[in-house]
C-alpha cells in the first residue's frame, strides 16, 4: 500500500533546497469533527457506546444510485443507529434529528457528537446517526481491503452517492416508524456539514432543514482565497502570542539550515526525537505545519491547544540559549504529550479513514488550500492544481474532477443564488477555525442564516456539551435549537393548514 500522500513527497524532493523554503503543497488539511490525536481510528478498537437506548442497524444499500447497470445493483450493509427514547411518536409528527456521518466511523461520531443527545429530550425527537459509505463498518465490496483497493472500487465513494444513501435510509426509517410526516432535521459537521447543507438543497422533500456546522463548502475552485486556511492558522497563533508566531515563522529557515549541514537530517531527527530517519527537512516541516493547523482547528476547552503549544514555545526551555528548535519541539510535545519518540508521519498513516479520504480529495473534494500570502508564519508554497492533479492521477489512474462539486452543488455567488431559493439552513462557524474561510458567514435570507462565534473552533457547537463551556457557546447552541424549533413549528402549522394527517 502506498502512502496516502505520495505526491507530497515527490514534489518536495524536486523543489526543496536551502534556497527554497517550502512546505508540502498539494495537501488538503484534514476535515473532521474531533482532533486527530483524540479520534478513534477505525483500525484501532472502537469505543462502544453503552447507552442501552441506542440501537444499531444495517440497511441494505445500493452501491450505485445513479446508474442502472447490473453492477450498480450490488448492495452493501450500511450501519446506522437509532435512539427512540425521547421520541413523541408518529401521531404527533414528532421530529427526527438525523446526523449525517462524515469521513469517520459511526463509533467516533457517537462518542463525539452531542447536539442530538443534548437536544433530543427538548424536541421529543427520534435520533438517527448514519455512517458514511466506505468508513467504519460501512464497507462496500465485502471488506475495507477490497473497497479501498483502487479506483474501480473507490469510484462509488463520493458525496452524491452518500447523499442518496442518506435519502434512502431516512425514508426507510420513516417507513419503519410509520411516520410519514415527521419533519427531519439533518445535522453534520465539517465535510458532514457540507453534506447536511447539500442534503437540504437536493432533498428538501426529505429534510425540512439542516444544521451545517463548520462546513467549508465555498472552499472550491476560485471562490475563496487559496491561502485562507493558513492565514487563519497564523492569525490565531499571532493573536495568542506574537512571540510564538515569530519563533514559528523563523523556525523553517532554521530547520533548513540545520538540514543542510553534514549529517543535518540526523541532527534534526535527534532534535525532534523522530521514530524513523528523516527523508528530508520537509518531514519535520510538514509535521509541524500539521500540528499548528490541528492545534488551531480544534483549539477549545478544557485544554486550549494553541495556548499550550505557544506557552511551550514561549517559555520552554527556561534557558534561552537552548535554541529555537528546542522551543519548537517543546510546542509539539505540548500537543502530543511525552512520547519515547515522535512519528512525523502520524497524520498520514494509511488507515482506512485516511485511504478513503485521500480518494475523496483526489476525485471531487479538491479544495485548493495553499500557502501563498505574505502575512503568514508559513513559507510560501502556493497551491498548484497541475501537480495536484498529476499526483492523484499517478496514484489512482484517474483524473480528479475539480469542477464537479461546483457544477453539482454550486457555490459561486451564494447570496445571489440562495437568497431566493432554498430555506432552513443554519451555517455555523467559529471564526477561529481555519476552515471558516470556506464557510457561509453572512445571512442569505430569513431562513438561510449564518451563526458565527469569534472564538469558536471547528464543529465546536455540535460536539458534546461540557460543564464549563463558555457562555457564548451555550448561547450559540441555544440559538441554533430555537431556530430549528421555529422551522418545526411552522411546518406543523403548514401540515394542519393543508389538512395533512399521518
Interaction site with its own copies (CB under 8 A): 64-73, 151-152, 154-158, 160-161, 164, 167-168, 171, 181, 201-206, 363-364, 397-399, 401, 403-404, 407-413, 415-424, 447, 490-491, 494-495, 498, 500
Smallest distance from the beta carbon of 397 to its own copies, in angstroms?
6
* 383 three-class SS: coil
Q: Which grid cell is 398?
A: 484517474
Smallest distance from the beta carbon of 489 to its own copies, in angstroms?
13
CB-wise, 65 or 257, nearer to its own copies? Answer: 65
CB-wise, 72 or 455, nearer to its own copies? Answer: 72
Q: Which DSSP letter does residue 435 get?
A: G
CB-wise, 304 or 408, nearer to its own copies? Answer: 408
Q: Which grid cell is 324?
A: 529555537
CB-wise, 63 or 248, nearer to its own copies? Answer: 63
Smallest distance from the beta carbon of 465 to its own copies, in angstroms?
31
Smallest distance from the beta carbon of 17 to its own copies, in angstroms?
36
Check if 34 is active-site.
no
Strand order in the sheet with 425-430: 54-62, 75-83, 126-130, 96-100, 184-189, 209-213, 425-430, 448-453
State the first-to-last Cα distance of the chain, in angstroms, to the nearest integer: 52
Bridge partners, 205 (sequence order): none
Check if 458 is active-site.
yes
CB-wise, 269 or 363, nearer to its own copies? Answer: 363
Residues near 45 by beta carbon (within 8 Å), at least 6 away in sequence: none
CB-wise, 307 or 406, nearer to its own copies? Answer: 406
Smallest distance from the beta carbon of 155 to its own copies, in angstroms?
3
Write down the catalytic residue from 182, 190, 269, 281. Answer: 190
313 Cα distance to chain centroid: 27
* CA–CA separation, 253 and 259 (whole Å): 10
In a 10 Å sphere around its CB, with 0-12 CB exposed, 13-18 middle and 19+ buried, how is residue 87 labelled? buried
CB-wise, 301 or 397, nearer to its own copies? Answer: 397
* DSSP one-letter string for 27-80: -PPP--SS-TTTSPPTTSPPPPP--TTEEEEEEEEES-SS--SGGGG-EEEEEE
Do you find a cis peptide bond into 117, omega within 30 degrees of 0?
no
Smallest distance from the beta carbon of 78 to its own copies, in angstroms?
15
Q: Which grid cell is 441?
A: 458567514
- Are the beta carbons of 461 and 215 closer than 8 angstroms? no
Check if 433 is active-site.
yes
- Are the beta carbons of 392 and 362 closer than 8 angstroms? yes
CB-wise, 17 or 399, nearer to its own copies? Answer: 399
Write down the catalytic residue from 109, 286, 433, 461. Answer: 433
* CA–CA separation, 28 and 371 (whole Å): 11
Longest dimension (CA), the chain: 82
CB-wise, 161 or 290, nearer to its own copies? Answer: 161
Smallest distance from the beta carbon of 163 to its own copies, in angstroms?
10
CA distances for 213 relative to 193, 232, 470, angstroms: 5, 18, 18
Smallest distance from the beta carbon of 122 to its own copies, in angstroms?
23
- For 240-271, b/e burial (b = at least 16 CB within 10 A) is bbeebbebbbebbeebbebbeeeebbeebbeb
* CA–CA separation, 56 and 415 (whole Å): 40
Q: Which helix (H) or strand (E) holds 152?
A: helix 151-154
Smallest distance from the beta carbon of 206 to its own copies, in angstroms?
7
Of the candidates 397, 388, 369, 392, the one whose C-alpha atom is nearest the C-alpha of residue 297 is: 369
The CA-based angle 191-194-195, given to 5 degrees, is 90
Which residues does the annotation mark as catalytic? 190, 433, 458
Amino acid at each position: 500500500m502506498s502512502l496516502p500522500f505520495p505526491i507530497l513527497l515527490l514534489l518536495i524532493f524536486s523543489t526543496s533546497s536551502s534556497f527554497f523554503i517550502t512546505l508540502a503543497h498539494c495537501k488538503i488539511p484534514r476535515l473532521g469533527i474531533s482532533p486527530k490525536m483524540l479520534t478513534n481510528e477505525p483500525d484501532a478498537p472502537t469505543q462502544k457506546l453503552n447507552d442501552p437506548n441506542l440501537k444499531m442497524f444495517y440497511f441494505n444499500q445500493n452501491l450505485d444510485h445513479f446508474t442502472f447497470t447490473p453492477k450498480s445493483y450490488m448492495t452493501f450493509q450500511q450501519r446506522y443507529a437509532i435512539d427512540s427514547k425521547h421520541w413523541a411518536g408518529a401521531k404527533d409528527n414528532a421530529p427526527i434529528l438525523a446526523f449525517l456521518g462524515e469521513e469517520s466511523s459511526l463509533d467516533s461520531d457517537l462518542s463525539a457528537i452531542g447536539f442530538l443527545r443534548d437536544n433530543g429530550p427538548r424536541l421529543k425527537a427520534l435520533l438517527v446517526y448514519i455512517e458514511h459509505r466506505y468508513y467504519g463498518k460501512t464497507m462496500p465490496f465485502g471488506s475495507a481491503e477490497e473497497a479501498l483497493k483502487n479506483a474501480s472500487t473507490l469510484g462509488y465513494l463520493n458525496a452524491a452517492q452518500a447523499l442518496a444513501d442518506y435519502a434512502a435510509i431516512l425514508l426507510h426509517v420513516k417507513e419503519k416508524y410509520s411516520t410519514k410526516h415527521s419533519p427531519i432535521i439533518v445535522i453534520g459537521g465539517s465535510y458532514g456539514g457540507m453534506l447536511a447543507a447539500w442534503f437540504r438543497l437536493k432533498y428538501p422533500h426529505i429534510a425540512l432543514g439542516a444544521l451545517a456546522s463548520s462546513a467549508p463548502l465555498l472552499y472550491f475552485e476560485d471562490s475563496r482565497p487559496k491561502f485562507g486556511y493558513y492565514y487563519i492558522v497564523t492569525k490565531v497563533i499571532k493573536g495568542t502570542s506574537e512571540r510564538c508566531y515569530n519563533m514559528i515563522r523563523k523556525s523553517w529557515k532554521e530547520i533548513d539550515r540545520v538540514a543542510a549541514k553534514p549529517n543535518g537530517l540526523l541532527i534534526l531527527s535527534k532534535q525532534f526525537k523522530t521514530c524513523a530517519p528523516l527523508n528530508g527537512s520537509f518531514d519535520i516541516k510538514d509535521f509541524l505545519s500539521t500540528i499548528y493547523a490541528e492545534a488551531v482547528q480544534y483549539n477549545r476547552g478544557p485544554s486550549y491547544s494553541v495556548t499550550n503549544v505557544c506557552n511551550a514555545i514561549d517559555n520552554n526551555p527556561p534557558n534561552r540559549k537552548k535554541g529555537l528548535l528546542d522551543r519548537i519541539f517543546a510546542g509539539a510535545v505540548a500537543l502530543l504529550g511525552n512520547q519515547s519518540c515522535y512519528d512525523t508521519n502520524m497524520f498520514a498513516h494509511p488507515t482506512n479513514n485516511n485511504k478513503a479520504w485521500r480518494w475523496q480529495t483526489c476525485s471531487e473534494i479538491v479544495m485548493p488550500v495553499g500557502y501563498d500570502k505574505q502575512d503568514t508564519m508559513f513559507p510560501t508554497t502556493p497551491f498548484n492544481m497541475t501537480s495536484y492533479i498529476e499526483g492523484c492521477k499517478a496514484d489512482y489512474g484517474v483524473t480528479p474532477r475539480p469542477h464537479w462539486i461546483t457544477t453539482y452543488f454550486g457555490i459561486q455567488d451564494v447570496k445571489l443564488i440562495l437568497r431566493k431559493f432554498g430555506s432552513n439552513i443554519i451555517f455555523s462557524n467559529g471564526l477561529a477555525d481555519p476552515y471558516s474561510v470556506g464557510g457561509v458567514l453572512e445571512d442569505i435570507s430569513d431562513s438561510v442564516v449564518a451563526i458565527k462565534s469569534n472564538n469558536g473552533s471547528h464543529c465546536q457547537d455540535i460536539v458534546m456539551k461540557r460543564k464549563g463551556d463558555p457562555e457564548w457557546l451555550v448561547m450559540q447552541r441555544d440559538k441554533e435549537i430555537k431556530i430549528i424549533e421555529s422551522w418545526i413549528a411552522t411546518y406543523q402549522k403548514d401540515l394542519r393548514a393543508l389538512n395533512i394527517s399521518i
